[in-house]
């Protein structure tokens, strides 16, 4: 088995950790994906000093965000979101609804501005009607939004 590569995460990486976490990953994953995408930096002695700074910023952000996340969650749950989409016979859509479409519809309906990466589509939305979408506002707070897909 190949040796693992030690990295310090600079952003949240699903299934791996959050900012400031020191992780060991396969060399190819680290070298070809995490580092070029700016999600991690190599764990050197100089970089280890940055861990404390990254963790402090993360803790301050998370404490502030938990209250804010619950506020955003309550805003989202009380929101009625309609999304017009082109459809053919039988209510099937031409293409499918993406997370970016959901974010734009929420914003247009008067909701908060969201990051499309926080939106989880359990199943691809390919038909007209009512669909439930999960928004992970915070690691501890998730909101569900009912999306009404209507013909354009």
Answer for the pair 12, 19: CB distance below 8 angstroms, yes or no.
yes
Distance from chain centroid for Cα 140: 13
- Look up the CATH architecture of domain 73-151: Roll (3.10)
Tens-digit pLDDT string for the chain (152 aa): 568 999 988 888 888 988 888 899 999 999 999 999 999 988 888 887 778 777 777 776 665 677 778 888 888 887 888 989 898 888 888 888 888 898 888 888 888 888 787 888 888 888 899 988 888 877 778 888 888 999 88
Q: The domain 5-70 belongs to what CATH superfamily?
A: Ribosomal protein L9, N-terminal domain (3.40.5.10)
b/e 24-33 (16+ beta carbons within 10 angstroms → b): ebeeeebeee
Same fold yes or no, 5-70 and 73-151:
no
The pair of three-digit structure tokens given for residue 81, joined into one six-digit string? 């979101």
pTM over 0.75: no
Give me the residue spans of the domains in the chain.
5-70, 73-151
């Amino acid at each position: 088995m190949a040796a693992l590569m030690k990295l310090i995460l600079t952003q949240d990486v699903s299934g791996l950790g959050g900012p400031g976490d020191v992780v060991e990953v396969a060399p190819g994953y680290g070298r070809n994906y995490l580092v070029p995408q700016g999600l991690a930096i190599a764990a050197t002695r100089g970089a280890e000093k940055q861990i404390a700074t990254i963790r402090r910023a993360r803790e301050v952000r998370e404490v502030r965000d938990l209250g804010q996340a619950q506020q955003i969650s309550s805003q989202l749950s009380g929101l009625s979101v309609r999304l017009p989409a082109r459809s053919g016979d039988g209510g099937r859509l031409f293409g499918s609804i993406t997370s970016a479409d959901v974010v734009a519809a929420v914003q247009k309906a008067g909701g908060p501005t969201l990051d499309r990466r926080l939106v989880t589509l359990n199943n691809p939305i390919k038909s007209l009607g009512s669909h439930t979408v999960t928004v992970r506002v915070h690691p501890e707070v998730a909101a569900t939004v009912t999306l009404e897909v209507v013909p354009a």
